[in-house]
Structure 1
Amino acid sequence: MNSITESLTFRVPLSPKSHALAEQFAKQQVSQKRAKEVYLNTLAVDIGQNFLDGLDFETNLENADCFNPVLRIAEDVADVIIPDLGVIEFRRVLPGETGFFIPEFVRENRLVYVAVGFDESLDFGDILGFVCLSDLTESNGYVSLEMLQPAENLLDYLMQLEAGRDFLLSDDPLAVEFRKAVEFHKVVEAETREKSLGLMAAALEVIYRQYPDDGGNWRGKGGKVLAGDLPAVGKVVEERMAVATRDEVGEVVVESKSVPRTTQKLAKQLLGKLKEIWG
């Protein structure tokens, strides 16, 4: 275990190379405001990647949104991918700020949002804490620092999700049935699996955490997860609750999505197995 976890200070230094890359990306932007955001986002991602590397997690920046030059111009993104687990968003917090805002573009498909605090010198960044996507469904997109879980808890949370993901990818008959079910519902496509499996594990984990003894919720809530009802922040949640289509005269028709009983039964069995793993 390296110095990051040994000291529990979670302070990550920034090298001249980090600043050089941040400056390179910033120069590609069309406004000073956007250039500053991209500069800080690039530093936050560098801090986040080093932090995760220090926790012995493999990371992938090549496919991250923040390393896509088009998205970097159009969207406020600072993400790091953990392959076959999911995406972690690192949000900048400047001196005097008491929280951070989650842009609409990143209000879903993220496992957690990690606050990275900067001082005026930009010589280092502090990992201030994190909040799970599944705990932000009532949020308007703003996260107060008071809402954050301690940074040292992130390792345990990610390891828990890894254990759930490993089971979902295993040869256990229940896991095989799960993969057939989500393929049927077109939830996990091959090209997005590394971002989706962790989200499903996270969504099942919050159901287990809130209803550890089932209480009749494993079938209904778990079934919705298997059918693709994954967590998102604020307004995005409302948009996912119903699919609206317009007919030729402009009337809105709301379609409700029912979950087959077989999927609900599978969800209950999965949560029972995950309870053994997570308990």
Structure 2
Amino acid sequence: MNSTTSPLLIVPIDLEIHSRARHLAAQQSTVEKGKRVYLNALAVYAVHSYLKWLQIPTDFNSSDCWNPVKAALSNAADLVIPNVGTLECSPVLPQETVILLPDTIENRIGYVAIQFQESLDSVQLLGFTPAVDEVNPPAQLTVSELQPIESLLQQITRLEVAIAFLQTDDSVAVQVRSVLDNKPLSEIVAQFELLYRTGDEFEWRYAGGEILAGDTRAVGATREAIQQDDSELQDLAEMLLEKLAEIWGDVT
């Protein structure tokens, strides 16, 4: 399916959310900042409503955009999907074709664009694009780059099935959990999914090993020990990506 054949999804915005968003905006230091915070809050609500309709839980009220202090310091419009990751919900003003993204965001699993009209009774979900660079996220996207909004559900499913695999007794999953210690599985899955989707296959082993390495290298370890650890982590990363490639190949 492509975006030219997928109808735009209309999401109504109820009066209670408008009231909450206006209250939040009134606490900002400038009118411009208040407008930005207001639209961010409505955008997050729209995506939350869509996912609720799909019976996908969100941690709606924990979004930074609902916190007056955090909203003042950042242009982020974040929506947490528990145990999966965080979406950026980007407002798009009438007639705009470029989606500006905040420069302080990180660890997003993707971006949803929300089109506003002169009337704020409802908004349109324009589409979705998965993350393309975790370290240096893009400054902007164009509407033409968006995938149909239905691809958001596919992305969430991809991450969920990978997380479920890492919770099994499969030998690779067990080894990965032992390496990660207490690091959330959702974080490692998001990084591996990004590598799988955007990296060349010959990069999997080295880049995957770097992901697993994280902060696991012991302080004061010898160069030989680090090289040995890296080799073992690269082997594990390669096996994990082979497993995930098989799993994701079954997700439509």
- Shorter chain as denominator, the TM-score bin is 0.7 to 0.9
Q: Which amino acid aligns with 1:219?
A: R
Aligned to 2:212: 226
Alpha-carbon distance, 1:203 to partner: 2.8
Once the two structures are aligned, what percentage of the paired residues are identical? Answer: 39
Q: How far, CA to CA, are the matches of 1:66 and 1:208 in structure 2?
A: 31
Alpha-carbon distance, 1:77 to partner: 1.8
* Alignment RMSD: 2.4
Alpha-carbon distance, 1:26 to partner: 0.7
Aligned to 2:64: 65
Q: How far, CA to CA, are the matches of 2:175 and 2:67 in structure 1?
A: 35
List runs of 5+ in structure 1 lacking aligned partners: 1-6, 230-256
1:113 to 79, 86, 111: 111
1:166 to 159, 164, 167: 164
Alpha-carbon distance, 1:199 to partner: 4.1
Aligned to 2:38: 39
Aligned to 2:246: 276
SS in 2 for 1:134: coil
CA separation of 1:169 and 1:64: change in aligned 2, threshold 3 A: farther
Q: How far, CA to CA, are the matches of 1:144 and 1:135 in structure 2?
A: 16
Alpha-carbon distance, 1:171 to partner: 3.3
Aligned to 1:145: 143
Alpha-carbon distance, 1:8 to partner: 5.2
Q: How far, CA to CA, are the matches of 1:50 and 1:99 in structure 2?
A: 24
Contact 1:111 1:199 survives alignment (8 Å): no
Alpha-carbon distance, 1:205 to partner: 2.4
Contact 2:24 2:66 survives alignment (8 Å): no
Contact 2:18 2:42 survives alignment (8 Å): yes
Alpha-carbon distance, 1:276 to partner: 2.0
For 1:94-105, what aligned pairs fall within 5 Å after superposition?
Answer: 94-105=93-104
Q: How far, CA to CA, are the matches of 2:203 and 2:26 in structure 1?
A: 51
Alpha-carbon distance, 1:135 to partner: 5.5
Q: How far, CA to CA, are the matches of 2:134 and 2:95 in structure 1?
A: 23
For 1:118-137, what aligned pairs fall within 5 Å after superposition?
Answer: 118-134=116-132
Q: Which amino acid aligns with 2:238?
A: K
- State the number of aligned residues: 233
Deviations 1:110-163 (Å, cap 9, x if unpaired)? 110110001000111111011221258776511111111111211112111111
SS in 2 for 1:170: coil
Q: How far, CA to CA, are the matches of 1:136 and 1:10 in structure 2?
A: 28
Aligned to 2:193: 205
CA separation of 1:179 and 1:134: change in aligned 2, threshold 3 A: farther
Contact 1:112 1:130 survives alignment (8 Å): yes
Contact 1:8 1:152 survives alignment (8 Å): no
TM-score under structure 2 length normalisation: 0.84
Q: Which amino acid aligns with 2:113?
A: A
Q: Which amino acid aligns with 2:175?
A: E
Aligned to 1:22: 21
Alpha-carbon distance, 1:278 to partner: 1.1
Deviations 1:13-61 (Å, cap 9, x if unpaired)? 0111111111111111111001101111111011010011122211002
1:53 correspondence with 2:39: no
TM-score under structure 1 length normalisation: 0.76
